[in-house]
């Protein structure tokens, strides 16, 4: 299958470039920007994209591509830092701008730009998305400017050899007019990539792979209740003999309302034969007692998960089973493993780095059938496998569950209150037709009480914060712009139906600088 290779220099938008290429029906693969450009890395590649970066190209610490990149005969497109890097590497100059160019900025094509295949079908003036503090002062040897921003700053360049291009703006960001067209011009027009990427093709490929790897041995999948592990479960049950598939669900007591029952019902309807549920609520709550630090809570939850898993695996008599995980491409990237090692590890995702997983990995017994997929692709795969919309359309839910949505110390009482408040919030969103317009919505229980009135009495109630964001993959997120009437009605519904909550607030922070979860 033809692929576009993306060299990641740590930009927050690298993931988005990968996704946009796949939306064009072409497989994309992201590797760290300073990886060796080996034959293996280039296998099936028909073009290369260099991402942006938080570094300046002239920083001594700045990541540099393998010099053999420039010997490649493949077309190369540098985005932001990518073109600045190519400029410096070919004798040009990059300087700091007196003022950052950020947000929507108009770009004007010069005559040579209007004729260039990169801009086929693009208007002579369009609104782009900029995010840079440096700019190209002098193009590298053989390069010329073919578009500029309104401030006269170079916005697109081409190399006379006709194999390299650079854009200062971000065509991958949805706010950039003609962005997808420009990427398509590069990927299909210039690189001539064939569109072989589809969920049908992926399913066929992964099914053949897993059958040849596992044969008739047992496969164990740890079910979290979320979309990813449910899709992984459906995939196993359809691909292997259900008699060899062991599904293990640990009920931590940190799940959403009715979630555990729904998970079990869904998996049995998929034909599961070995479906095991461990009721571990009391164990988790006891271990979390007195713990306030978010990363400590994460670690406790993760470690407990692992020790319970190990006990259960022994008990089920399948210690040699292959371990199957619903890990996504973005999970690997956010944990700084394998790809995008320059991207900072922001939160630890325990399904990726647990000792059980590491041990099984060393034995070559971990299988992650979704690890090249983005969230929306997993949903498409779930639909292809016949899962109902209510499951595949569900908002993402973090591994540590309510453990990171109750700020500070947890208790059963707080879990129950949050479960109720969250259920009211979500059912209000569904009733108002808003659920599917939002990427992720949930309630957070704050570690404070505030005063309120109930009848003639003053009472102290909990404060629930509502979160609702628009996102494509959770890497960046915008606040969902509710109609104020909806927010007010949702707040009343929560305080009426959950008397322990006395006040509701709405979180209006984007990511970055905030994260989606509060802990
Ligand atoms: P943040 O809060 O980092 O979240 O902006 C990005 C996405 O990841 C989910 N998330 C997690 N998922 N284990 C997980 O499996 C975790 O520890 C974890 N922390 C955050 C979060 O719900 C959002 O969708």
* pLDDT tens digits for range 379-423: 999 999 988 888 899 998 988 999 999 999 999 999 999 999 999
- Residue 25 domain flag: yes
Cα–ligand 1 centroid distance for 449 (angstroms): 26
State which of 394, 474, 518 you would mutate to test the pocket of ligand 1, scoring each by most atoms of that ligand within 8 A of its C-beta: 474
The pLDDT of 266-279, averaged and rounded, is 93
Q: Which residue has the CA at smallest separation from atom 21 of ligand 1?
A: 398
Task: Based on the fold, state whether residues 60 and 141 are members of the same structural domain.
Answer: yes
pLDDT at 351: 53
Answer for the pair 181, 175: CB distance below 8 angstroms, yes or no: no
Which SS3 state, helix, strand or coil, does residue 405 take?
A: coil
Q: Domain count of the chain?
A: 3
Task: Based on the fold, state whether residues 311 and 455 are members of the same structural domain.
Answer: no
Is 113 a residue whose pLDDT tops 90? yes
Alpha-carbon distances, residue 155 vs 48, 138, 141, 405, 435 (angstroms): 19, 13, 17, 43, 38
Looking up residue 135, the CATH number of its domain turns out to be 3.40.50.880
State which of 398, 478, 479 you would mutate to test the pocket of ligand 1, scoring each by most atoms of that ligand within 8 A of its C-beta: 398
Is 184 a residue whose pLDDT tops 70? yes
Task: Based on the fold, state whether residues 28 and 73 are members of the same structural domain.
Answer: yes
Cα–ligand 1 centroid distance for 288 (angstroms): 19
Active site residue 170: yes
> Residue 123 class from Cβ within 10 Å (0-12 exposed, 13-18 middle, 19+ buried)?
middle
Nearest to 248 by CA among 224, 227, 270, 228: 224
Choice among 101, 132, 148, 170 that is catalytic:
170
Active site residue 141: no
Q: Which residue has the CA at smallest separation from atom 4 of ligand 1?
A: 516
Task: Based on the fold, state whether residues 301 and 366 are members of the same structural domain.
Answer: yes
> Residue 33 class from Cβ within 10 Å (0-12 exposed, 13-18 middle, 19+ buried)?
buried
For the CA of 298, the nearest atom of ligand 1: 17
Q: Determine the distance from the C-alpha atom of residue 398 to the mean position of all C-alpha atoms in its chain, rounded to a whole number.
A: 12
- Residue 515 domain flag: no
Alpha-carbon distances, residue 383 vs 230, 376, 377, 471 (angstroms): 12, 11, 10, 21
Residue that is written with structure tokens 């997808």 in the block: 180
Domain edge (last residue) among 346, 368, 392: 392
- Residue 291 domain flag: yes
The pLDDT of 167-191, averaged and rounded, is 96
Choice among 148, 172, 377, 420 that is catalytic:
172
pLDDT in tens, 497-511: 999 999 999 999 999
Task: Based on the fold, state whether residues 183 and 207 are members of the same structural domain.
Answer: no
Task: Based on the fold, state whether residues 221 and 368 are members of the same structural domain.
Answer: yes
Active site residue 415: no
Answer for the pair 223, 248: CB distance below 8 angstroms, yes or no: yes
Task: Based on the fold, state whether residues 443 and 373 are members of the same structural domain.
Answer: no
Task: Based on the fold, state whether residues 180 and 210 are members of the same structural domain.
Answer: no
For the CA of 518, the nearest atom of ligand 1: 2
Which SS3 state, helix, strand or coil, does residue 376 take?
A: helix
Domain encompassing residue 344: 199-392
> What are the φ/ψ torsions at residue 128 (nearest 5 degrees)?
-105, 180
- Residue 127 domain flag: yes
Residues flanking ligand 1, CB < 6 Å = 298, 346-347, 349, 396, 398-400, 440, 474, 511, 515-517
Cα–ligand 1 centroid distance for 398 (angstroms): 5
- Residue 517 domain flag: no
pLDDT at 455: 79
The pLDDT of 355-360, averaged and rounded, is 75
Cα–ligand 1 centroid distance for 517 (angstroms): 6
Task: Based on the fold, state whether residues 239 and 371 are members of the same structural domain.
Answer: yes
Which residues, listed in sequence order, are joined to residue 154 by a DSSP beta bridge?
148
pLDDT in tens, 307-318: 898 899 889 888
The pTM of the whole model exceeds 0.85? no
Domain edge (last residue) among 392, 416, 447: 392
Looking up residue 320, the CATH number of its domain turns out to be 3.40.50.620
pLDDT at 332: 67
State which of 346, 397, 517 you would mutate to test the pocket of ligand 1, scoring each by most atoms of that ligand within 8 A of its C-beta: 517
Work out the number of other CB atoms within 10 angstroms of the CB of residue 175: 11
The pLDDT of 122-127, averaged and rounded, is 97
Task: Based on the fold, state whether residues 141 and 265 are members of the same structural domain.
Answer: no
Domain edge (last residue) among 158, 190, 222: 190
Task: Based on the fold, state whether residues 359 and 440 are members of the same structural domain.
Answer: no
> First vs last Cα of the chain: how many Å apart?
40
Cα–ligand 1 centroid distance for 454 (angstroms): 36
pLDDT at 389: 87
Cα–ligand 1 centroid distance for 394 (angstroms): 15
Looking up residue 488, the CATH number of its domain turns out to be 3.30.300.10
Cβ within 8 Å of residue 82, ≥6 positions away: 7, 9, 49, 50, 51, 52, 166
| DSSP, residue by residue, 324-362 | E----HHHHHHTT-SS-TTS---S--HHHH-HHHHHHHH
Task: Based on the fold, state whether residues 338 and 431 are members of the same structural domain.
Answer: no
């Amino acid at each position: 299958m033809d692929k576009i290779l993306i060299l990641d220099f740590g930009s927050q938008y690298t993931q988005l470039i990968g996704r946009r290429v796949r939306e064009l029906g072409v497989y994309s693969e992201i590797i760290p920007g300073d990886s060796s450009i080996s034959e293996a890395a280039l296998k099936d590649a028909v073009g290369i994209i260099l991402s942006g970066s938080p570094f300046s190209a002239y920083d001594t610490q700045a990541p540099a591509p393998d010099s053999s990149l420039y010997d490649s005969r493949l077309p190369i497109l540098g985005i932001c830092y990518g073109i600045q890097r190519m400029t410096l590497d070919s004798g040009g100059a990059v300087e700091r701008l007196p003022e950052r160019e950020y947000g929507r900025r108009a770009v004007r094509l010069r005559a040579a730009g209007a004729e260039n295949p990169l801009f086929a079908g693009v208007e002579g003036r369009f609104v782009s998305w900029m995010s840079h503090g440096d700019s190209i002062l002098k193009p590298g040897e053989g390069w010329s400017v073919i578009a500029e921003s309104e401030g006269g700053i170079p916005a697109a360049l081409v190399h006379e050899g006709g194999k390299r291009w650079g854009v200062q703006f971000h065509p991958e960001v949805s706010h950039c007019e003609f962005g997808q067209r420009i990427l398509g011009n590069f990927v299909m027009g210039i690189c001539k990539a064939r569109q072989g990427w589809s969920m049908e093709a992926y399913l066929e490929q992964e099914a053949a792979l897993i059958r040849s790897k596992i044969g008739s041995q047992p496969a164990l999948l740890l079910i979290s209740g979320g979309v990813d592990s449910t899709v992984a479960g459906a995939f196993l049950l359809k691909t292997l003999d259900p008699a060899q598939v062991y599904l293990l669900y640990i009920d931590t007591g940190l799940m959403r309302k009715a979630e555990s029952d729904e998970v079990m019902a869904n998996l049995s309807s998929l034909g599961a034969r070995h479906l095991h549920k461990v009721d571990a609520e009391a164990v988790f709550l006891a271990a979390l007692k007195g713990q306030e630090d978010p990363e400590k809570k994460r670690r406790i939850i993760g470690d407990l998960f692992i020790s319970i898993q190990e006990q259960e695996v022994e008990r089920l008599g399948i210690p040699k089973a292959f371990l199957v995980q619903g890990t996504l491409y973005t999970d690997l990237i956010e944990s700084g493993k394998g790809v995008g090692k320059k991207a900072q590890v922001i939160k630890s995702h325990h399904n990726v780095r647990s000792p059980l997983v590491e041990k099984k990995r060393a034995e070559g017994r971990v299988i992650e059938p979704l690890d090249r997929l983005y969230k929306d692709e997993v949903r498409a795969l779930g639909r292809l496998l016949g899962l109902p919309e209510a499951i595949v359309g569900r908002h993402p839910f973090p591994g540590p569950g309510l453990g990171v949505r109750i700020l500070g110390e947890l208790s059963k009482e707080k879990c129950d209150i949050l479960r109720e408040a969250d259920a009211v919030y979500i059912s209000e969103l569904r009733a108002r037709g808003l659920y599917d317009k939002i990427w992720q919505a949930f309630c957070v229980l704050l570690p404070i009480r505030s005063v309120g009135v109930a009848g003639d009495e003053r009472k102290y109630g909990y404060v629930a914060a509502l979160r609702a964001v628009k996102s494509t993959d959770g890497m960046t997120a915008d606040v969902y712009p509710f109609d104020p009437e909806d927010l007010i009605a949702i707040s009343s519904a929560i305080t009426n139906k959950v008397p322990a909550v006395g006040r509701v607030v709405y979180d209006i922070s984007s990511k970055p600088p905030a994260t989606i979860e509060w802990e």
